[in-house]
Amino acid sequence: MRILIAAGVALALIQCCFAQTMTATHLRCEYLINPIGIGETKPRLSWWNESKERGAVQTAYEILASSSREKLSQNVGDLWDTGKVSSDKSIQIEYAGSPLKSRDLVFWKVRVWDKSGNPSPYSEVAKWEIGLLDPSDWQANWIGKPNATIDKADPSPYIRKGFDVSSPIDHARIYVSAQGLYELYLNGHRVSDDHFNPGFTDYKFRIQYETYDVTRLIKQGRNAVGAILGDGWYVGHVGGWGRQQYGKQPMGLVQLEVTFKDGSQMSVGSSSAWKVADGPILSSDFMKGEDYDARKELGNWSAADFDDSSWQSAMQGSAPAAAIVAQCSEPVRKWQELHAKSITQPKTGMYVVDLGQNMVGWARMKVKGKASDKVQLRFAEMLNPDGTIYTANLRSATSTDTYILKGDGEEVFEPHFTFHGFRYVEVTGYPGLLQDDSITGIVLGSATPDTGKFECSNQMVNQLWHNIYWGQRGNYLSVPTDCPQRDERLGWMGDAEVFVRTAAYNCEIGGFMTKWLNDVQDGQTPSGAFADVSPRVHDFGDNPAAPGWGDAGVIVPYAIYQAYDDKRILERHFESMRIWVDYIHDNNPNLLWEKSRANDYGDWLNIHEETPHEVLGTAFFAHSTDLVAKSADVLGLTDEAAKYHELFKGICDAFNKAYVGPDGRIKGDTQTAYLVALGFHMLPDDMRPLAIQHLVEDVTVKRNNHLATGFLGVSLLNPVLTETGNLDLAYKLLLQDTFPSWGYPIKNGATTIWERWDGWTQDKGFQDPGMNSFNHYSLGSVGEWLYGVVGGIKPGTPGYKEIVIHPQPGGNLTYANTSYQSIYGDIKSNWKIDGHSFELSVKIPANTKALVYVPAASAEAVMEHGHPASSADGLKFLRMEDGAAVFEAGSGSYDLTSTK
C-alpha cells in the first residue's frame, strides 16, 4: 500500500513538472540587475515570464525576500513572503516587506502560476542592497589637495591611505563620491570599469555616490585604498560658460567598511590623515582634453607597500549643502572599440586616422620612443577639402590630448577624465611610423541595455537607423546631451523630449531617465518654470522656460510611464508637471502662450519655414496640459484630471479662434504648424481634413516632397502623415535623399544624425561653425516611426502588457525585421513581401497579448502553416480594418501568410 501511495505521489510530481509551462527569468530591481547601494527602501521588482506554450498567462505569483541566501534556499522569506498572490502583474511590483535600513542586503526569488494553475519552480536568486540612507551614515570627510591652484587647470590629485586588516573577512563595501570625478583603486587594482563617476547632476542640489563590493580585493594584513580626482563637470568647463560653475577644486569622499567573520567591523574613511600628491595627469578637462606626462608616473601608488612618506597630508574640506544620494542609473562604461579604416598624411609629420564612425569617447594610443617625446592627438568629426581635420565647429573646445613619453619600451596611453566626439584623430609628434593598430577608438556611453533592433530591405534606411542608434549611444552620457564635441554637451530639454520615445525603443532608459528627471525637477524655479537645460548649469533667470523645451518636464515622464508602465515616475513628478502648466496659464490667462516664452527657440533649425512662436507655444501648452490631465487620470486624481481636461479644451478653443482660419489654414501656414495642431489633437473634426490638405500641399507642391521641419516638428512629421492617411507620403520623405532630407547626410557619408539638415551641402560646404554638430540625435526622432509603423511594434497599453503589431509596408520595401525587448519580454515583428504574398512572423512575450494586423483582402486569406489563421491555436479573428485582418493573439510565435 505504501509503495502504491509513493508511486502516486511521484506520478503527481512528474505530471506537475510536465504540466508546467512557464518560468520566471530576467529578474530586475529598479530596472537594474542585482543593484548594490540603491537609495530606494521600497524598490520595484520585475521579471519576464517565459513559456513555449501559446497564450501563456501568469495567474499568480509568490515572491520570497530573505536576509540571507541560506534562508532563501530553504524557501524562508524572513523579510517578505507574499504568499500566493492572484495577479497577472509581473512588473513594477513594489517591495512591501519588513522596513529596510542602510546596508541591508536582500536576496529574492519568485515563482509563478500559469493559466492551468500549475506553479513554476522558483527562479534563480537575485539580490539588491541598500546604500547609505542617512547623512549620519557617512563618517568620512571630503578631502582634496592643499594649496590647489584654482585660477587654472591643476594636476589631478592622487589620494591614498594605508590600513591593516587583522581578522578573516566576511565582506567589504566601499562608498565613494566626488565633487568632480574619481577613479577608485584598492591594493593596486582599479575597483570598477565605470567612468566619469559620480555623474553629472545639479550639484547645488544633489551629488551621487556609488557603492562597490570589494570583498575580493581586501586581504588580511596591509592594504591601501586610493583614488585619482578629476575636474569633470563640477570644476572643469561646462557649456560655453567657462570653468568652476560649481566648485573650485575636486574633492573626494571615500568610506570603506569591512565586516569580519566574527561580526565585528572596521571603517576607513577619507580624512586629513590621508596622503595626496600630484601625478602624471597635468590637466584634464572635458572640453580641452588631457595632458599626461608619463615621466611623472607614481608607480604602483595604490599598492599596500607603496612608500607615501613624501606625499602631503590631504586637506579636509567642509561638506557641501547638496544631498548625497545613491546613483540610480547605469554608469558610463566602454561598450565598443573601433579600429582604423585608413591613415593619411595630409602634411609632413601629421597623420589623420579615420575610424569610420562618428563616436564618443577617446583614443587609445600605442607608442614607442624616447623620454620627453611629445605626441599630440586632436579630434574632429569631419575633414577639410585638403584632408586635414575640420575643427571650426568645436568652438572653444580644443579637444586635444597630449602624451609625453617616459621612454620605457612600448607605452599605452588612455586619458582618464575627458571625452571627445569624433571620427578622425590627428596625430602629430609621433615617433616612428604610425601603424594600423597604433590608434584605437574607445567608445563610451551610459550602459543602458540595448532593447531594439531594426533592419529592412533599403540600405539607406538601415544606415538611418544605425545613425540614430549611434547618436543616442554617444549622447546618452550621464545625461541626454545635445552633442558630444563642441563646448556645450548639455542636457538640452527640447532635444530630450522629441527623442525620448525613439530612445526607449533603442535602449532600456527607465533608470537613466529616472535619474535625469531628478535633475529636471531640481532645475525648476519656484514659479514653476523648467530650465532650457538640465542639469541647470547656468542661471537663465527666474523664468527660463521655452516652449517645447520646458515641456520636456511633462512629456518625458509620461513617455517613460508609457514605455515601462512606471506610475511612480508620474507620482514623483506630477506636482512639478502640474505647476509647469499652471506657470504658463498664470502668465497667459487668455490661454494663448504669447508671454513669458523666455529664449523662445521655436521650431529650431527648420528649413525655410518659420512657424509663428505663439502658435507653437500655445500648441505645446495644450499638449502638456493634456498629458497632465491624463497623468492625473492614471494616478486617480479625479479633481485634477477634470480641471486639466477642461483647461485643455479651453486652450484648443482659444487656439482655433486665434490662429485657425475658416478654410483650416493655420497661422504661419507651415508644416510644423499643421503637425502640432493635428498631432496634439487640437482641431475640431470639421477642420482636420482641411488642415491635412494644407499639410500635404506644403510637402508635395510647395516643397516638392521635402520636409521643412525643425527639432519640434520633425518628431511629428511621419507619425501625423501616417495617422491622417498619408502613409505613401511619409515613405517618400523617409526615402528622399536630396536636400533637405534624412537621406541627404547619409548620401554624403554621415554615420550619426546631424544637428542641421544643412550641416554640410555640396553647394555651400559647412554651415555656420557656431552651431554645426554632426552628432546630434534630435532630427533622428523618426526612429519611433521606424519601429512603430515600418516595423509595426507599438504599445497597446503602458509597458506593452497589450501590444499592437501593425506593420504598414510602403516605399517599395520588401522586408523589415524589427525587435524590441519590452519590460515583459521579447517582441518581434518580421515581415516580407514575396510577389503577391505577405509573410509576417511575430513573437509575443508570455503574460501579454497583442492585436496583430495582417494586410489581407479577408480573414480567409490569412494562413498559418497552410491552415486558416482564424482557426489557429492562440489566434482569434476580430475584424477587417483598413485593408488588414485584425487578430487577437496570445503569447507565442506565429508565422502568418496572406495574399491580396
Q: Which of 333, 370, 553, 576 shows the shortest CA–CA distance to 444? A: 333
Q: Which of 320, 242, 227, 324 shows the shortest CA–CA distance to 276? A: 227
C-beta of residue 397 within 8 angstroms of C-beta of residue 287:
yes
Amino acid, res. 552: A
C-beta of residue 824 within 8 angstroms of C-beta of residue 848:
yes
3-state secondary structure 243-307: CCCCCCCCEEEEEEEEEECCCCEEEEECCCCCEEEECCEEEEECCCEEEEEHHHCCCCCCCCCCC
Q: Helix H segments across 600-748?
A: 613-635, 638-659, 671-679, 688-697, 711-723, 727-735, 743-747
Peptide bond connecting 385 to the previous residue in cis, omega within 30 degrees of 0: no
Please indicate whether residue 881 is annotated as part of the active site. Answer: no
**Cα 896 from Cα 887, distance rounded (Å):** 11
3-state secondary structure of 383: strand
Place of cell 594636476: 155
List CB contacts of 672: < 8 A, sequence separation 6 or more.
603, 606, 609, 611, 616, 708, 709, 710, 712, 713, 716
User: Would you say the C-alpha torsion 808, 811, 813, 819 has a positive or negative sign?
Assistant: negative
Q: Which of 397, 363, 366, 393 shows the shortest CA–CA distance to 377? A: 363
**Cα 567 from Cα 500, distance rounded (Å):** 17
**Cα 144 from Cα 149, distance rounded (Å):** 12
3-state secondary structure of 308: coil
**Cα 624 from Cα 629, distance rounded (Å):** 9
Give the active site residue among 53, 488, 614, 864.
488
DSSP 745-762: HHHTT-SS--SSTTSEET
Please indicate whether residue 330 is annotated as part of the active site. Answer: no
Alpha carbon dihedral 543, 548, 554, 555, in 10-degree steps, equals -170
> For 429, phi and psi rounded to 5 degrees?
80, 10
CA distances, 340 to each of 150, 438, 748 (Å): 39, 9, 20
3-state secondary structure of 798: helix
Give the active site residue among 30, 330, 755, 864.
755
Query: Which helix (H) or strand (E) segment is 826 a member of?
Result: strand 826-834
Q: Is 180 left (phi over 0), alpha (psi -120 to 50) or beta?
A: left
Catalytic residues: 488, 755
